Amino acid sequence: MAGDQDDGRVAVITGASSGIGAATARKLAADGHRVVLLARRADRIQALAGELGKRALAIPADVTDRDSLVAAAGRVQREFGRTDILVNNAAAMARGPFTSEQRGLYRRLVETNLLGAMTTTEVFLPQLRDDGGGDLVNISSVAARSVRAGIAVYAATKSGLNGWSEVLRQELQPDIRVTVIEPGGVATNPETEQSRGYPLIPVEQVAEIISFCISRPRTVSINEVLVRPSSQAH
Ligand SMILES: NC(=O)c1ccc[n+]([C@@H]2O[C@H](COP(=O)([O-])OP(=O)(O)OC[C@H]3O[C@@H](n4cnc5c(N)ncnc54)[C@H](OP(=O)(O)O)[C@@H]3O)[C@@H](O)[C@H]2O)c1
């Protein structure tokens, strides 16, 4: 059964081609887990898998395309035999006032951030259930807890993710633990850091938190982690 800290569990990470997802893949591989890297940019996940070696598998997949997720799950089953940890990290972001002109983008946000996480989860759930010791980690945002003008649809997707996660936590316990991570500003690119004017959370720190949550004894479930840069007010 999966569940101990260093038994080489299999972690599937969406959005592993950059930012928090790539850092999480590096950290979980360093922890001794096998990691499955999902994203649309095949070149980036293949390069990361090359860096991580035999314990990594790169599978191009789009979380808005269920067929690509079903194919990915089949390949994980064939090559690694199971999934113990699923990190729903893939997302898109949009800033600016709510307008009709942006409606295409709004649909993409909902389809990626909310429906994408739901579809990935329902596709991988049978594997997560199999060994009776799964972890589902949903990367939400401080925007689910503290909203401000200019991120209406993004905040809606992350609030939705939180509500959905809490229901799943109750439905899937105790075999699958559900953890929601709600970061404030994370240093995924230098421009964001400059525009904020204060140091953001390094991606490696978010990865450390994920690693900590999933490595607790199976009787302990960390349900929610809200983490901000020390200088961030809201
Ligand atoms: N950065 C922050 O300040 C911050 C704060 C709070 C929460 N978050 C959350 O943290 C998570 C990671 O964000 P990040 O900051 O690391 O941003 P990022 O570097 O832009 O990463 C987003 C990832 O999502 C993937 N992705 C987007 N659409 C996809 C799709 N349709 N199918 C599969 N993968 C898709 C991208 O890969 P491809 O383009 O290769 O598909 C990329 O790997 C997100 O859930 C975000 O909402 C970030």
Whole-number pLDDT of residue 78: 97
Whole-number pLDDT of residue 192: 75
Whole-number pLDDT of residue 194: 81
Low-confidence ranges of the chain (pLDDT < 50): 1-7
Tokens representing 212 are 């900590």
Asked if residues 92 and 113 have their Cβ atoms less than 8 Å apart, the reply is yes
Identify the DSSP state of 115: I
Ligand 1: nearest atom to the Cα of 19? 16
Mutational test site, ligand 1, from 13, 20, 87, 191, max ligand atoms within 8 Å of CB: 20
Whole-number pLDDT of residue 189: 83
Whole-number pLDDT of residue 150: 96
Asked if residues 14 and 21 have their Cβ atoms less than 8 Å apart, the reply is yes
Total count of residues recorded for the chain? 234
Whole-number pLDDT of residue 27: 98
Distance (Å, whole) CA 138 – CA 177:
11
Ligand 1 close to Cβ of residue 229 (< 6 A): no
How many Å lie between the centroid of ligand 1 and the Cα of residue 93? 8
Whole-number pLDDT of residue 50: 98
Ligand 1 close to Cβ of residue 92 (< 6 A): yes
Whole-number pLDDT of residue 183: 98
Whole-number pLDDT of residue 5: 40
Ligand 1: nearest atom to the Cα of 90? 24
How many Å lie between the centroid of ligand 1 and the Cα of residue 234? 21
Task: Name the closest-CA residue to atom 1, ligand 1.
Answer: 186
Ligand 1 close to Cβ of residue 40 (< 6 A): yes
Asked if residues 70 and 123 have their Cβ atoms less than 8 Å apart, the reply is yes
Whole-number pLDDT of residue 18: 98
Ligand 1 close to Cβ of residue 19 (< 6 A): yes
Handedness of CA 122, 9, 182, 152 (dihedral sign): negative
In angstroms, how far is CA 82 from the centroid of its own chain? 18
Ligand 1: nearest atom to the Cα of 17? 43
User: Of the CATH numbers 3.90.1140.10, 3.40.50.720, 3.30.2350.10, 3.40.50.2000, which one belongs to the domain with range 10-226?
Assistant: 3.40.50.720
Distance (Å, whole) CA 33 – CA 56:
9
Give the predicted TM-score (pTM) of the model: 0.97
Distance (Å, whole) CA 73 – CA 82:
9
Write down the domain spans for the chain. Answer: 10-226
Q: Is 217 exposed, middle or buried (0-12, 13-18, 19+ CB in 10 A)?
A: exposed
Tokens representing 56 are 């990594």
